[in-house]
Structure 1
Amino acid sequence: MGGTEHLTAEQVGATLVLTLNRPEAKNALSLPMLVGLHDGWAAADSDDTIRSVVLTGAGGTFCSGMDLKALADDGRLSGEHYRDRLRADPDLHWKAMLRHHRPRKPVIAAVEGHCVAGGTEILQGTDIRVAGEGAVFGLYEVRRGLFPIGGSTVRLARQIARTHALEMLLTGRPYSAAEAERIGLVGRVVPDGTALEKALEIAELINANGPLAVEAVKASVYETAELTETEGLKLELERGWPIFATADAKEGARAFAEKRKPVYRRA
């Protein structure tokens, strides 16, 4: 499935598992990692054998954000041999971090260990979030005199209560998995070492459903988020009604009547 030296990509059934793979640096962002993420999202969008994506990190860590050591040394991320990819698409890093791209397939985050700074920013671009009990979250940028430019000043207050969003953004303090769950940043907390397993279980439940319906539901949720209720309901019908005319919808009803599992064909 491709990948780079800092990003592994493996298809498990109908799920694409993208693993941030730079554990010696707590999976700090690098150009190879960003290129691998970008290509992974593109593969998921273009390959219809993939019905969901799980994003996780190697070595018991999700992502510690920007590589501050590299930036302090020469202002560059590691992996200069990928610089031509960034020149060809100056927006590549923002797409990789899900700031300027939303995959059409559901994305589930499986978080262990540190998920801070850019890690918490990438997290906000995912759809469903599972964390190990020992996971740590936080937007540390202000502690370093930096700005969380990966989208957090826009997204976070739309995903959790504004008071919690502003506390996280302005204090730069760490948050435990339990607190992240309490404020709604993650959906569930599981024993350490089992986040990926639980994420794959959730992915399997999604994969068993009609793919056209799943993608339309995800699109509708995001497209209507900032609309009035009246506008949103109108758009929901535009997204939803065509699904009822698909062969998959007929197969779902037929399978129910025949008491068997449906076989969906994206038609």
Structure 2
Amino acid sequence: MGGTEHLTVRREGATLVLTLNRPQAKNALSLAMLVGLYDGWLEADEDDSVRSVVLTGAGGSFCSGMDLKALAGKGMEGEQHRDRLKADPDLHWKAMLRHHRPRKPVIAAVEGYCVAGGTEMLQGTDIRVAGESATFGLFEVRRGLFPIGGSTVRLQRQIPRTHALEMLLTGRPYSAREAADIGLVGHVVPDGTALKKALEIAERVNSCGPLAVEAVKASVYETAELTETDGLAAELARGWPVFDTADAKEGARAFAEKRPPRYRRA
């Protein structure tokens, strides 16, 4: 199991838990965090025993975005990881889920600040849980910057355009309740319980057929921008093979025998 000084990795059953771990900086992005994140996504993709991923933050915050001190030329912690970025100049975008989509479901557990690059990374996750005191927002325009982590493209596809534009153009903070009202997050829970709720959702995902889960996730994303006719054709191409798997037969047999299914990814 991987991890770096700013990103911890642990297992909770079939769930891989990735924790942004730079609490003294409200988990502002660092080289060590980006490298750890990217390696975590790869581990989840490559390990068939992992059925879901939970992304969260340490110390009561999710992620406060890019380290502005580093952007101003003050240097960024974790210089020993710079060779990874040189070897793969796209690594930071993959780490932030701009240029990489994990094949396993990703559930975000948000407490505290989830702003700027935090809100951008959030848009690459599949299911989102927030503590009631969490704060969201894309603050880039307030600093004369551009939210280049994908938000001008993705946000309007995930929430109504009028809300997307307000968030993007005003740079104002949003409460967890506001974020839920506009559809940016799916659950608002008492502070300190977002991770518990996310793990509960992950366990439900883990109990389902893994081949079916991964095929459903892939179909949702690959058909999102297709016409209905093309989307339905793509859905059939993605979905029919699932019915021929041993797992599909096991699911039906377990239902008939009134027992939990034993899926084998076959």
Q: Normalising TM by the smaller chain, what interval?
A: over 0.9
What is the match of residue 82 of structure 1?
81
Matched, 1:4 2:21: no
1:69 offset after TM fit, Å? 1.6
1:152 offset after TM fit, Å? 0.2
The 5 Å alignment of 1:133-148 reads 133-148=132-147
What is the match of residue 205 of structure 2?
206
What is the match of residue 42 of structure 1?
42
CA contact (8 A) 1:108 1:199 kept: yes
Q: Distance in 2 between matches of 1:174 and 1:244?
A: 46
The 5 Å alignment of 1:78-117 reads 78-117=77-116
What is the match of residue 17 of structure 1?
17
Identity %: 83
What is the match of residue 166 of structure 2?
167
1:73 offset after TM fit, Å? 3.5
Q: Distance in 2 between matches of 1:73 and 1:100?
A: 26
SS at match of 2:19: strand
1:79 offset after TM fit, Å? 1.1
Q: Distance in 1 between matches of 2:95 and 2:256?
A: 43
Q: Distance in 1 between matches of 2:77 and 2:142?
A: 23
Q: Distance in 2 between matches of 1:233 and 1:33?
A: 39
What is the match of residue 184 of structure 1?
183
CA contact (8 A) 1:29 1:77 kept: no
Q: Distance in 2 between matches of 1:43 and 1:99?
A: 18
For normalisation by structure 2, the TM-score amounts to 0.99
Matched pairs, number: 266
1:87-140 deviation digits (Å, cap 9, x = unpaired): 100000000000000000000000000000000000000000000000000000
Instruction: Name segments (4+ residues, structure 1) moved above 3 Å.
Output: none
What is the match of residue 30 of structure 2?
30
1:77 offset after TM fit, Å? 3.0
Q: What value does the CA root-mean-square deviation take over the aligned residues? A: 0.6
What is the match of residue 261 of structure 1?
260
Q: Distance in 2 between matches of 1:228 and 1:77?
A: 44
Unaligned runs of 5+ in 2: none
What is the match of residue 57 of structure 1?
57
For normalisation by structure 1, the TM-score amounts to 0.99
Q: Distance in 2 between matches of 1:9 and 1:225?
A: 31
